[in-house]
Structure 1
Amino acid sequence: MPDGWEWDRTLFRGSAAHYERGRLPYAPGFPEALAEALGLDGRGRLLDVGCGPGTVLLPMARFFTEAVGVDPDEDMLSEAGRQAGRRGVTNARWVAARAEDLPAGLGAFRAVVFAQSFHWTDRDRVAATVLEMLEPGGALVHVSDLKHPLPEPPPPPLSAPPYDRIADLVRRYLGPLRRAGQGVLVNGTPGGEELIIERAGFRNLARLVVPAGEVVTRTTDDIVAWTFSRSDSAPHLLGDSLADFERDLRALLEETAPDNRFAERLPATEIRTWRKPPK
């Protein structure tokens, strides 16, 4: 959990409806790559902690008998259920809970996934709990975009989204410190997951990078949705200034791309796995 910050239920309030449109997908083929890395065969259970709208759980559910998504944001879970119905995923269920509420009577799992969510938790406590929830030899999985090196800029003629200018606009409305729920992240979000997870008793770290780099076209509406899908610019933070902020955001985007079309490359996906020692 970030230093000096306490979780509250408003962290992603109002963001769920913007996720599917706003967030770039993980690298094509990442579910198959993860299934191969873990030796999945359609058996066992998956737990996705901080599952959001099911971004990772839904494409992974077919490799398990059951997939359980846990998230404290009920709007995220409603969106996940809607997406499951749209995709025909019938072996998923959703539990409104924080990571710190685990084990919550959920039973044992073959794999537990954190997709860009572990840093929001009481990490030592949660890692120790997950170790107890896993079957012997089971895996804790950490999924994220590959941060370094960054994807190359897209080729002309389309422009990349002006993310630096969007960040400046957010600071102009919300102040210089990154907002998160009712608090601020003075030092950003923490790293050091590997040390914490290994301290909990996990072993055999393995790292897999699933390549991407495909150029995707994005619209102004997509970039607006991306902005509102983020914890540091979630709609609730803007309050009565929401309409003014969106007007200024759209004007900024139109200035960059008068035809309302942008391009960017999909980032590679980094998967790190640790194993619970066999008995």
Structure 2
Amino acid sequence: MTDGWAWDESLFAGAAAHYERGRLPYAAGFVAALADELGLDGSGRLLDVGCGPGTVTVPLAGCFAEAVGVDPDAGMLARARLRAARDGVGNVRWVRARAEDLPAGLGVFRVVVFAQSFHWTVQDAVAATVRGMLPPGGAFVHVGEVTEPSSTQGLPHPTPPHAAVAELVRRWLGPVRRAGRGFLPGGTPGGEAQVLAGAGFAGPTRLRVPSGVVARRSVDDVVAWVHSRSDGAPHLFGTRLAEFDAELRALLLASSPGGWFAERVPDTEVRIWRTPRA
């Protein structure tokens, strides 16, 4: 993990209630694309590490005999259980644990997925552990958003004023990004490809799954997005949360007096590393 920063349990404290509303969805076709690439047929087991509210675990569960979602945040797991029940998915179990607690007696998995969570881990140690939880030919999968500028042409509403929102958060919480009880002056680390190669994985195979969706976002949706993030988690504002929210809402309404925004949902990028076949 980043030098000078250590994980603590407050990293996403209070964020779970805002996550599903605030975060943009992954492209609808990512499950089919991954299933086709890996030949998923309803057998084997899935492990989703840092599963949050089950955003990836629940839709992928039908491709496996069993799915296990792991997350250290109790609030996230409570939301994940609700999502699975709502969607009628009964072959998932939820385990409160950190990635660094693995293998945690969970056994062997056909696929282990990290959906924008691997960067929060002690990557070298976690990659080596996951390598031992996969059979020959097993897959380590990273699911994330394609990060590139998107056109605003033809959108029915203004885009959310992300730069102004970020400046407001800095004014309230300070110039250095907050993360739990600590700070991340340089952000979270990259270099996953080198880490996974060092752990003995081959790859990656890259899949880009188009979204093609324009999301209509209310002021409440954008507020939820801010509080779904580690650097805007509700606990960081303490007793002044309502005051911050009032200022945030005023900023958003100044940007779009009608109270609506629009943004293009990013394409989803799936990167797959495999263990060598015997």
TM-score by length of 2: 0.98
CA contact (8 A) 1:150 1:267 kept: no
Tell me how large the CA RMSD over aligned residues is: 0.9
Q: Any idea what the Cα deviations from partners look like across 1:202-228, whole Å, max 9, x if unmatched?
A: 013211111123211110010010010
- The equivalent of 2:262 in structure 1 is 263
Residue equivalent to 2:104 = 104
Aligned amino acid, residue 173 of structure 1: W
CA distance in 2, matches of 1:81, 1:36: 27
SS at match of 1:114: strand
Q: State how far apart, in whole Å, the 2-side matches of 1:201 and 1:124 are.
A: 11
How many pairs were matched up?
A: 278
Q: Distance in 1 between matches of 2:203 and 2:166?
A: 38
Partner of 1:16: 16
Out of 30-39 and 110-119, give the one that drifted further: 30-39
1:212–1:269: 8 Å Cα contact kept in structure 2?
yes
| Corresponding residue for residue 227 of structure 1 | 226
TM-score of the pair, normalised by structure 1: 0.98
Q: Contact between 1:2 and 1:119, CA under 8 Å: does it hold in 2? A: no
Measure how far apart 1:116 and its partner are. 0.4
Alignment-derived partner of residue 51 in structure 2: 51
- The DSSP-based 3-state class of the residue aligned with 2:136 is strand
Q: Match for residue 113 of structure 1?
A: 113
Query: Secondary structure at 1:217's aligned position in 2?
Result: strand
Structure 1: 5+ residue stretches without partners: none
Amino acid at match of 1:168: E
Aligned to 2:273: 274
Whichever residue aligns with residue 183 of structure 1, its letter is G
Q: Give the equivalent residue in structure 2 for 1:217.
A: 216
Give yes or no for the alignment of 1:153 onto 2:149: no
Matches within 5 A, 1:104-183: 104-147=104-147, 149-153=148-152, 155-183=154-182
Give secondary structure in 2 for the equivalent of 1:136. coil
Q: 2:155, 2:263 within 8 Å by CA — same for their partners in 1? A: no
Identity among equivalent positions (%) equals: 62
* 1-structure distance, mates of 2:211, 2:98: 32
Q: Hey, which bits of structure 1, 4+ residues long, moved more than 4 A?
A: none
2 CA distance for matches of 1:157 and 1:142?
Answer: 32
Matched position secondary structure for 2:166: helix
Cα distance in 2 between the residues matched to 1:4 and 1:154: 42
Query: Per-residue deviation at 1:155?
Result: 2.0
Residue in 2 that maps onto 1:3: 3
Gaps of 5+ in 2: none
- The Cα of 1:157 is off from its aligned counterpart by 4.0
CA distance in 2 between partners of 1:154 and 1:102 (Å): 46
Check whether the contact 1:154–1:160 (CA below 8 A) recurs between aligned residues. no
Q: What is the CA-CA distance between 1:154 and the residue it aligns to?
A: 5.1
Give 1:28 deviation, angstroms.
1.8
